[in-house]
């Protein structure tokens, strides 16, 4: 079982409009609702890949009820902790004419100390049964900034591999607790390390505590620095669509590869293919299965060696497993 933690769950609402024009009335052609939040998206993709997945975090109010109802139809097991506050909504407006997406995210409900204590008790029991743990997303109001560091330490004490995907001060504190995998995007990595050069920044992040650091670089793919080596993974082409949830599919690819004990090039191939196929899907937490199968054969993974980083040297290429 893979456990995903979403402390700031959401009801994801996607509006699709023929053309989005600011300062006017826009007609919506299609509306969809999905259970959301980064860890929930991860769980839905993992479930679609055939992995038993449990979702925990918080849910409250009418939107929390809607999240539970929709989650029940998607496959992952619901282990969300009830709170008095109301679960937030996130709104994605997709402009069909351009393929661009405008995102509006509510802040989330305030979690009380008693609710946090109830979550910790539940979390410890779930971690004991998990093969791997993913800690994903922002912290809702009321949760202390070192919460992810606390959860990383609990997973490590139980001997479970743990992935951290957050930003800002929660990332800075969480990485110091030595998670097994850290998955920042380019902006989050730059904020953490002060560098936008992927090789330098990921290695700096490893020195700060991340055992393996996998940086999402958008259309450029990703760069991974691990104890076993470093790799670049790139998609065959740039695609347009809804990028919401693409980074969460990266996490799903990495975690599924970890529990299946795949070598790093295969994990990265899967992560990039899933991420790209998610952009082509209509809503977060989904991926285009036909595109995913096709992309698995086309993603290029290149090993980065000490020699290849020297001026004038080309990288040593490692073809992906197909």
For 241-274, the pLDDT digits (tens) are: 767 788 899 999 999 999 999 999 999 999 999 9
Instruction: Name the nearest CA neighbour of 43 among 58, 57, 55, 56.
Output: 55
Q: Are strands 222-226 and 213-216 parallel, antiparallel or unpaired?
A: antiparallel
CB 132 within 8 A of CB 165: no
CB 251 within 8 A of CB 212: no
At 149 the pLDDT is: 98
DSSP 139-170: PPTTS-TTHHHHHHHHHHHTT--EEEE--HHH
Question: Model pTM?
Answer: 0.89
At 284 the pLDDT is: 64
Active site residues: 248
At 100 the pLDDT is: 84
Ranges of residues in the chain whose predicted pLDDT is under 70 = 242, 282-285, 306-322
At 228 the pLDDT is: 93
Looking at the DSSP bridge assignments, the partners of residue 226 are 229
Phi and psi for 168 in degrees, rounded to 5? Answer: 65, -145
At 313 the pLDDT is: 42
Buried b (16+ CB within 10 A) or exposed e, 183-219: bbbbebbbebbeeeebbebbbbbbebbbbbbbbbbee
At 229 the pLDDT is: 95
What does the alpha-carbon distance between residue 320 and residue 322 come to, in Å, rounded to a whole number? 6
């Amino acid at each position: 079982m893979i456990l995903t933690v979403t402390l700031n769950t959401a009801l994801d609402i996607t509006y699709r409009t023929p053309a989005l024009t600011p300062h006017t009335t826009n007609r919506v052609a299609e509306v969809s609702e999905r259970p959301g939040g980064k860890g929930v998206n991860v769980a839905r993709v993992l479930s679609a890949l055939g992995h038993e997945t449990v979702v925990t975090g918080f849910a409250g109010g009418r939107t929390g009820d809607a999240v539970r109802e929709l989650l029940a139809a998607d496959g992952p097991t619901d282990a969300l902790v009830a709170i008095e506050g109301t679960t937030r909504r996130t709104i994605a407006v997709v402009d069909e004419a351009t393929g661009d997406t405008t995102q509006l995210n509510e802040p989330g409900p305030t979690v009380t100390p008693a609710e946090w204590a109830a979550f910790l008790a539940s979390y410890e029991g779930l971690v004991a049964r998990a093969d791997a743990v993913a800690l994903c997303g922002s912290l809702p109001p009321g949760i202390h900034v070192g919460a992810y560091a606390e959860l990383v330490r609990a997973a490590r004490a139980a001997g479970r591999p743990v992935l951290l995907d957050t930003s800002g001060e929660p990332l800075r504190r969480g990485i110091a607790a030595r998670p097994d995998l850290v998955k920042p995007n380019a902006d989050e990595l730059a904020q953490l390390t002060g560098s936008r050069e992927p090789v330098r920044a990921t290695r700096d992040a490893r020195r700060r505590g991340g055992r393996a650091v996998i940086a999402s670089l958008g259309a450029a793919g990703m760069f991974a620095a691990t104890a076993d080596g470093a790799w670049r993974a790139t998609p065959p082409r740039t695609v347009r669509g809804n990028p919401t949830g693409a980074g969460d599919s990266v996490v799903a690819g990495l975690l599924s590869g970890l529990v299946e004990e795949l070598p790093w090039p295969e994990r990265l191939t899967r992560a990039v293919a899933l991420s790209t196929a998610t952009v082509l899907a209509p809503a977060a937490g989904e991926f285009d299965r036909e595109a995913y199968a096709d992309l698995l054969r086309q993603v290029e993974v290149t090993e980065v060696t000490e020699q290849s980083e020297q001026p004038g040297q080309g990288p040593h290429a490692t073809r992906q497993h197909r």
